[in-house]
Structures are given as C-alpha cells and as structure tokens.
Amino acid sequence: MPVPEILEGKYTVMNWRSQAPATPLLVLITSSGFAFVVGALTFFLLSDFFEVTHQSHGPNVDERYYRVLPVDLVKFRTNCTQSIPPENVKDFVIDNLFDGASPFDDFPSPEIAPLLRKKRIKGWGAEAPVFERLIIEVRPKVIVELGSFLGASAINMGTIARNMGLDTIILCVDDFRGWPGFRAKKFKDIKQQHGSIMLLPQFMKNVQFMNLTDIILPVPFSTTGALSYFCEWGIRPDLIEVDAAHDFHSAWLDINSAYAMLSPGGVMFGHDYYNRANEEGVRRAVDLFAQLKGLRVEPDGKHWILRTL
C-alpha cells in the first residue's frame, strides 16, 4: 500500500478507492458471498469519506518536481538571506567559526609541526583552463569551494585572483577527513594522530607555503552544514566550485544547496562531468538539475558549468 507523502506543508494522502483494491482484503475477512457483497458496497460508499486529495498549505513548489522526483530529493531552500557585503565575509566567518582569530594565527603549533610536510599539494583537474576562464569572466569577490582536499584547486584560484589584483576571499568547505582508506597507498605520508588525520593542517601548511593565507580560508565542516549556515548568514558567492563527494545523492544535495546561494550573475561549476566512473553520480545530478531549472550545461573539458538565470 502506498505511503502518504509529506513535502513542506503539502500532504498527499492515498486515494483509497483507486489505490487499495477491496477484493483481496474482503476475501481474507470472509468467504460468505453475502458478506462479500455487503462489504464491497460499504467499502466503496465509504471510500469518498476517506479520499483526501493533494492539498497545499505551504509555499509554492514547482509541480515538475512532484512528477519527476521522489520526495526526499526536492526539499531544498531556494532563497537565502540578503547578502552581506563581500568585503565583510572573511571577518564574519572568522568571527562566527573561529572566535575572531584566523586559524592561520601562530600556525602550525609545536606539537603539529613535525607531522606536516613543507608542501604537499595534490588535486585532480585543479589546473584546468576553466578556473582562469571563469575568474577572468566573473571577477569574483567571494568564491566557495566544496571539496578542497589538499588545496590544489583553491591554491590555483587564489594565485589567479592575486595575479589579477582581485580582492577575493575563497572559502574552502571540506570536513578534511578524506575518505575511508585514502591513506592506504598514495597518501601514506599524511600522518594520523589519535584518530585525527592531518589533512586540515597539511591543507593549511600548503596555503601558508604559497603565501595565500589572506585569500584562502578553510571551513572544516560538511558541505551540508556549511551551506545551510552560509545561506542563513547571507554569504552569496559569485563563483562556486562543486567537487566534494561524487555519488548522486551527495552531488545532488550540494548542487541544489549551492545554487540557491549564488549572487545574481553568479556561476557554479564542478569537476568529473566526463568521467565514466561518475556518470551515474555527478553527471546525472548536474543534468537532472539543469533540466528541472531550465538551465544549459556548459561542458569545459571534464568540468561542467551552470549559470544563474
């Protein structure tokens, strides 16, 4: 029997007459022909009483979502708080996340320093032409990066912005835990202490080595949590890079949440659009989102680009 759907104040209760056949239930209750007839008539007479159609008690939601997607894929905020001035974003984040002191102050601490390499920059597709192309086009004041790892793409964007003389802040959202087993082969040199992987400190060391601490700021939280608060705080980036988890549901959540934050004229882009291993994840999420929003996906190498309407 179908389960009632609930979506942001909208309730859909099953139509008992059309969705729940009476015959199997009544056969189980009785084998008497007379009782069967009476029961069937009673059932259909009462079905009008139980029938509840789709009722709207909440905000308007694009009806296309109902026809295409399961309920859990459409509950996204589409409007964020009014933007705070871009020049205030860095200090605002430091005040609200780091008690008013930059995480780069007095970094690294004596107990962590021996565990870090002088430089350990690594990424995938981090130096693709799309980064420079979009930064030249958008001239962003605020960039949000979802998925930073060891900082390769953030460092590339920061270097481009600095060379262009832009006053840009890059907020790098990542839980900085990597993924299960990522240290097994290529990243054995990333140390671990008491269950804490030195990914965030090594990211910070890389940024420090490249002298970009005035431009790049780590935000060590999940993408879901960070984007929710950014939206509530009024952080409205001009450019967003989506390159965190690559499974469909994670990418879908990141894309929907991030797009709502974009400033007018902003651009969102990401990696692994043309990657066979991620076609059912990233590419599927990007294409579906673009279809529902009436957007055009712009491929650029292995990257994808979406623009605000």
Q: Is the confidence at residue 101, as pLDDT, over 50? A: yes
How does pLDDT run across 165-193, given as a tens digit for each residue? 999 999 999 988 866 666 666 777 777 77
How does pLDDT run across 151-166, given as a tens digit for each residue? 999 999 999 999 999 9
Q: Would you state the pLDDT for residue 179?
A: 66
Q: Is the confidence at residue 104, as pLDDT, over 90? A: yes
Reported as type and span, the H/E element at residue 269 is strand 267-270
Tokens of 168: 């840009």
pTM above 0.85, yes or no: no
Q: Would you state the pLDDT for residue 262?
A: 96
Where exactly are the structural domains of the chain? 5-61, 86-307
CATH superfamily of 86-307: Vaccinia Virus protein VP39 (3.40.50.150)
Q: Is the confidence at residue 282, as pLDDT, over 50? A: yes
Quickly count: other Cβ atoms within 10 Å of residue 267's Cβ.
21
Q: Is the confidence at residue 44, as pLDDT, over 60? A: no
Quickly count: other Cβ atoms within 10 Å of residue 86's Cβ.
18
Q: How far is CA 40 from CA 1, 17, 18, 20, 30, in A?
A: 18, 11, 14, 12, 12
Residue 248 pLDDT grade (very low, low, confident, very high; cuts 50, 70, 90) = very high
CA angle 102, 104, 107 (to 5 degrees): 135
Q: Would you state the pLDDT for residue 38?
A: 43
Amino acid at the residue 229: Y
CA angle 283, 289, 293 (to 5 degrees): 145
Q: Are the C-beta atoms of 48 and 17 separated by less than 8 Å?
A: yes
The span from the CA of 244 to the CA of 17, in Å, is 46
Burial bucket for residue 163 (CB in 10 Å: 0-12, 13-18, 19+): exposed
Q: Would you state the pLDDT for residue 148?
A: 92
Q: Are the C-beta atoms of 306 and 259 separated by less than 8 Å?
A: yes
Q: How far is CA 102 from CA 52, 90, 94, 119, 155, in A?
A: 56, 9, 6, 20, 18
Write the Ramachandran bin of 99: left for phi over 0, alpha for psi from -120 to 50, otherwise beta: left
